[in-house]
Amino acid sequence: MAKHGFPQGTLEMMIMKVISSGSHHGWGIAQKIHLLSNEALKVEEGSLYPTLSRMQRQGLIEGKMAPSENNRQAKFYKLTPLGKLQLEEESKKWESMADAIARVMSASPESQF
Amino acid sequence: MKFKNPFSKNHDLDEEIEAHIALKTDYYLEQGMTEEEARKAALREFGNAERLKEECRDSWSMRVLSEWLQDIRFAWRQIRKQKGYSVLVAGTFAVCLGLNIAMFNIYNSTVINPRQYENENRIVNVYETYDDLWGDNRVATSRIYWKERSEQAKSFEAIAIFGVDWANVRILGIDEVSDFTGVARITPSLFEVLGTQPFTGRALSPGEGYNEALLNYDYWQKKFDGRSEILGKTIQINNSTFEIIGVMPKGFALPRSKLGNLPPDVYTNYGAMTFSFQPEWRIRPFGMCVALLKPGTTLSQAEIELNQINLNNGPNYPEQFRIEQEQNHKTVIIPLGKHLVRDFVYALDLLKFGLIAILLIGSINITSLLVSRHHQRSNEFASRIAVGASRFRIAKQLITESTLLAVCGVLGGFVLAILILNGLSAIGLFDNFTIPPRDQLDLESWVFGIILSVIIGLLVGAVSLLPMFRGSSHSHNQRTSSFGKSYKYFQGSSVAIQLSIALLLLISSILMFLSFRQAMEIDPGFEPDGLFTAGFRPAVNDDTKRLIIDKFFAETEKYPELQSVAISNWPPLKLGGLYLRSLYVEGDNSPTPYQCFNDTVSPSYFETLGIPILQGRTFNPSEVRNQSAVAIIDKKLADRHFPGQNPIGKRISIPSEGGSVSIEESDERNWLTIIGVTQTIRNRRLVEAPTHGTVFTNLHRQTPYWNGVMVRSQLNETRIAEILKKIVGIVAPETGLAMPKMMTALIEKQRAPQKALSVLCTIITSVSLTLCAIGVIGNVSYTVSTQTKEIGIRLTLGAKKFQLLLTSTKFWLKTGATGLICGAIAALFLSPFIETYLYEVEARSISTFLSAILFLFIIVSLASLISARKGMSLNPVEALRSE
C-alpha cells in the first residue's frame, strides 16, 4: 500500500478524475481513490488537503461548503472548466507515459541493445 | 484570481477537517470499533492538524507574505551593513521631502487654502489700474465704481468695499479718554462676501445710515475682558455715536495685505461716513473692494463684465471718463489668496522654482547612489542569477531595500518639515504675512508628502534598476563590462545635470543675496537712525488745527531731550496717505497737468529727518505765520521740470493745494514760489524709487489731514512715546497718539519680503549645493574606485601616476565643464525671469556668473583630484587583487 510518494502530478490527476463524475468532500475523495485502487493506494490527509488547497488556487477545482452524509458541514469539490481541460491533457500524457513504461518493462532481454 | 477573506478561509478549513475526522470516525464505527476507539483512530490517522493547516495556508497567500518578510529582513541587514550609504540615501530623501512638504504647507496655508474665510475659494479682490494717475499701478476702487457694480454686475453674489482710518474712539460710560485707533468702514455685504459671522451679537444691518459698530475680538478682550454686556453700549467715533451690536470672530482680519496696513479695532457701517457721490469721486480711490463670485463664473468673465460696466457708465461723468480713457483705466480681478500674499509673491514663486530644482538634484543623487550600490553588487547578482535566482526576485529585493530606505526618508522628511516650519516661524519670517502659514502640517501637506514620496520612490527605484536588466546573464564578464561603461556615462550625465541645476540655483542665489544687500543698503534719502514716528489727528477745523500745532511745538520745547521735532501730513514709509496731485509750472503751457506728490510740513521737517537741502532754504517763521505762497521741491521734480536751471524763484501751482481735494483745474492759479530744493526721499516704499517728484508746502498754509509726528532723539521708543502722549493729551485731549514706531522698525518691516526671499533662497541654495557636492564627490570617488583594476594594470605596465591622474580627472573635468556650460546657458535664458525678483541687480552680471562657475568647477576639480589621488596611491598588486 503506497502511503507516500505518488509520482509528481499524479495525486492531482487522481483527484480530478475522482471528482469528474461528481462533487466529493476530502474524505470521500481519499476513500474513492482507496477503493478504486483496490485498496492499493491510500491518500494521506497531510498531502490531500494542501493539494486540494493548491488546486483551488490554480483554478482547477472549486469547493463549496455543504452538509455531508453525517450532516456535518464539509467542503465539496468539483472540477472547473479549466480543471476538465487539464484532466483531459493529463490523462493523455499519463496514458502515453504508462504505455511507454509498460513497453520498456515488458521488453525481452534480447531486444535490449 | 479571487481574494477571499483569510479569516473565513480559516473557518472553512477548520470545519472541513472536523467533518473529515467525523466521517472517518463513522467509518470505523461501521467497522465495529467503539465510539472512543473510532474517534481516537481517526484522530491518530489524521495526524498533526495544525501542521496541515499551516501547509494549506502556505498555499494561499502566506507564502507571498513570508517572502516579503524575508525580503524586509534581508533588506534591513543590507541597510545596517552599509550604514553610511543608507544614511546618505535616506537623509537625501528626507531633506528633499522635508523641504518640499514644509514649503507646500506654507504655500497651501497662505495661497491655496488659507481657511481664513468661509467662501475663500470664490472671493476675489477687485482693483483699478491707471497708467499714471495715482503713483501706483494698483489702486483701490472708487465709491462710484463700487455703487455701479453693486447695482449692475451679474457675476457676483455680493460686492463689498472697506477702508480703515484712524479715529478717536471712546465707549460712553466706560472710557474716560479716547483711544486713537483704527476704525474700519465696511459695507454690510462684507459679511456675505467673506461668509463671516460675528463671534457674538449680530452683523451690520443691510443698507446705509445705521450707526452700528462691532468690536475686534482682541480689543474686546483687552478692554472688557470678554464681557458680553458690552452689547448695546454706545461708542463714540470722532464726533458720531454708534451702538455696539457685536464682536468679530477671534483672529478675524480684513482681506488685505498686512504689510503697512492698520489693523482696525472697530468696524462700522460705511454709510455712517458722510460721503457724496459727486463726479470727482468716480476716479478717486476709496476702499479695498472684495467680491464673491457666483458659482461657475470665471475670473475673466467677471473682469470683462466689470470693464463693460465702466464703459457703459463712463459717459455719465464726461470729465472723469476722459481721464479714464487717457490713463487707460482697467479693472482687474485676482483671487483673494494671491492678493493677500502679494508682498511675498516673489518669495513664494521662488519657492516653487527652488524646490523643483532640489527635487531634481536630490532624485538624481539618490538614483546615482542606488545605481552605484547595485553596480557594486553586480558580482553578487550575477552569481545568484547563475544559480537560478530570477531577475524579478533580485529586483524585488532591491525594491524592498529602496522602499525601506524611502520609508526612513519619509519619516525623516515629515519630522524635518515640522522643524523647518517651526524654525521659520520662530525667526519671525512670517510676521508680516496677512495669514501666517500654519506651523502644523495640515492634511493636504501630509497627503502631498505621501504622494510625492511614492512618486519619487517609484521613479528613482525604476531608473536605478534599468541598468540591471541590460545585457545577458550568461556572459557575466561581458555584462559587467557593458554595465560598467554605461554606468560611467550614467554617472557622468547625472553629475552634469546636477551641476547645471546647482549653477542655476547658485547664480540665482548670489543675485538674490546681492539684491537683498542692495535693499539693506537703500538710502531712503533721510537718516532713519534715532528717528521716532507717530501721529495724531484732531478732528477740528483748520484754524483750531493751526493753534494745536503751535501749542504742540511749544510743549515740545519743554523737553530738551527731544533734539528736533517735526510735523507733516504723513511720515515717510508708513504707506498710504500720499497721493498724486496735478502740477502746473509757470511758463509751461502743456495741456495735460503733470503729477506730483504733495506733502505739507513744518520748517523743522528737513532737519529732523536729516534730509539735505541742496539749494535754497526751508520755510522761515514769518512764511509759516503768514501762510506765504512758497514751496520747497525735491531734486526729482527739479530735474524733471527745471533741467539745467536754478529752480529757486520759479513758480508752480497745485490746484488742490489749500486743503481741497478737488482735482478740478482752476484758471486762477495759486502760484507758489520755490524757495528750496531737497534731496529726493523714499516716501512710500523703501524698495520703490519715487515715481514722481514731491512738492512740500508749509504746514499753516495747508493744514495736514492728520498730523504725522517725527522726533529725533537719543531716548528710546517707549520714553519718546510717553512724552508725546503727554503732550498730545495736553494739546488735543480728545485724541491719542497713533502708531508710535521707530523709523528703523518701519524700515525693517519694509525689508521683510526681501528678507524672506533671502532666507528662503539661502536655505534652498545651501541644501542644493550640499546635495550637489555629495552627488559629485560620491559619483567621482565611486567611479574611480571601480577603475582600480585598470589602474593596477596600467601601473604594472609602467604608466606614470601623474599621467593616470590626468586621465582619470580629465573625464570629470570635461563632464563638469559640460554641466556648467549648460547651467550657464540656462541661467542666461532664464535671466529675464530671475530679474523680476531682483532689486537693482543685473541678472546677467558677468562677475556673478564667473564666480558661481568657478566655485562649482573648483568643487568638481577637487573631488576628482582627491578621488583620483586616492586611487593612484594603491599598490599595483593590491589594485589588481581588489577585483
Instruction: Quick: pLDDT tens for B480-515.
Output: 444 456 666 777 787 888 788 888 878 887 887 787
Q: Which of residues 37-96 of B touch A (CB under 8 A)?
A: 45-48, 51-52, 55-56, 58-60
Q: What is the pLDDT of residue B650?
A: 92
Domain holding A86, by residue range, is 10-105
CB-CB contact of B646 with B615 (8 Å): yes
Residue B183, by phi and psi: left (phi above 0), alpha (psi -120 to 50) or beta? beta
Q: Is the pLDDT reported for residue B428 higher than 70?
A: yes
Contact B381, B394 (CB under 8 A): yes
| B662 lies in the same domain as B588 | yes
Q: Which residues contact B77 (CB under 8 A, 6 or more apart)?
A: none
Which residues of chain A lie closer than 8 angstroms to B59, CB-CB? 50, 53-54, 57
Domain with A25 in it: what CATH number? 1.10.10.10
Among B68, B93, B117, give the residue marking a domain's end: B68
- Is B832 part of a structural domain of the chain? yes
Q: What interface predicted TM-score (ipTM) does this complex get?
A: 0.85
Q: Do B23 and A72 touch (CB under 8 A)?
A: yes
Query: Nearest-5° angle of CA B281, CA B287, CA B292?
Result: 120
Mean pLDDT along residues B299-306: 92
Interface of A with B in 40-79 (CB under 8 A): 44-46, 49-50, 53-54, 57, 59, 63, 65, 68-70, 72-75
Q: How many domains is chain A partitioned into structurally? A: 1
| Each residue's pLDDT tens digit, B833-843 | 777 777 777 88
Query: Do B213 and B64 fall within a single domain?
Result: no
Lowest mean pLDDT among B53-67, B190-204, B521-535, B644-658: B53-67
In a domain, A1, yes or no: no
Is residue B22 less than 8 Å (CB to CB) from chain A? yes
CB contact under 8 A, A57 and B27: no
Residues B176 and B308 in one domain: yes
* B779 and B709 share one domain: no
Q: Print the domain residue range for B17.
A: 6-68
Average pLDDT over residues B428-440: 70
Low-confidence ranges of chain A (pLDDT < 70): 1-5, 109-113
B27 CB near a chain A CB, below 8 Å?
yes
Q: Per mean pLDDT, which range of A60-69, B20-29, B457-466, B602-611 is the poorest?
A: B457-466
Residue B10 domain flag: yes
| Co-location of B401 and B498 in the same domain | yes
| Shared domain check, B394 and B500 | yes
B12 reaches A (C-beta below 8 A): yes
pLDDT at B280 over 80: no
Contacts of B620 (CB under 8 A, 6+ apart): B603
Question: Does residue A76 lie in a domain region?
Answer: yes
What chain A residue is nearest to B51 in terms of C-alpha separation?
Answer: A46
The cell numbers describing A70, all together, are 453525517
Measured between CA atoms, how close is B51 to chain A, in angstroms? 8
Residues A56/A16, Cβ–Cβ less than 8 Å: no
For residue B1, the model assigns a pLDDT of 40
Q: In this structure, is residue A3 part of a structural domain?
A: no
User: Would residue B504 count as lying in a domain?
Assistant: yes
B5: left (phi over 0), alpha (psi -120 to 50) or beta: beta
Q: Is position A42 within any domain? A: yes
| Residues of A whose CB is below 8 A from B47 | 44-46
Count of structural domains, chain B: 4
The answer on B348 and B323 residing in a single domain is no
Mutation pick from B9, B14, B16, B58 vs chain A, by most beta carbons of A within 10 Å, is B16
Judged on CB neighbours under 10 Å (0-12, 13-18, 19+), B489 is: exposed
**Across chain B, what does the average pLDDT equal?**
80
**What's the pTM?**
0.61
Mean pLDDT throughout B464-479?
A: 53
Burial letters for B21-52: b for 16+ Cβ neighbours within 10 Å, e otherwise? bbbbbbebeeeebeeeebbebbeeebeebeeb
Domain identity same for B585 and B696 = yes
Quick one: B517 and B566 in the same domain? Answer: no
Inside any domain, residue A113:
no
Residue A85 domain flag: yes
Q: What is the C-alpha R_g of chain A? A: 16
Residue A111 lies in a domain: no
Q: Which runs of consecutive H residues, i.e. helices, occur in A1-113?
A: 10-20, 26-36, 45-58, 81-106
For residue A32, being part of any structural domain is answered with yes
CB contact under 8 A, B23 and A50: no
- B529 lies in a domain? no
**Res. B553: pLDDT tops 90:** yes
Contact A72 B45 (CB under 8 A): no
Tell me, yes or no, whether B762 lies in a domain.
Answer: yes
Query: Are the beta carbons of A53 and B59 separated by less than 8 Å?
Result: yes
Chain B residues whose beta carbon lies within 8 Å of the beta carbon of residue A59: 1
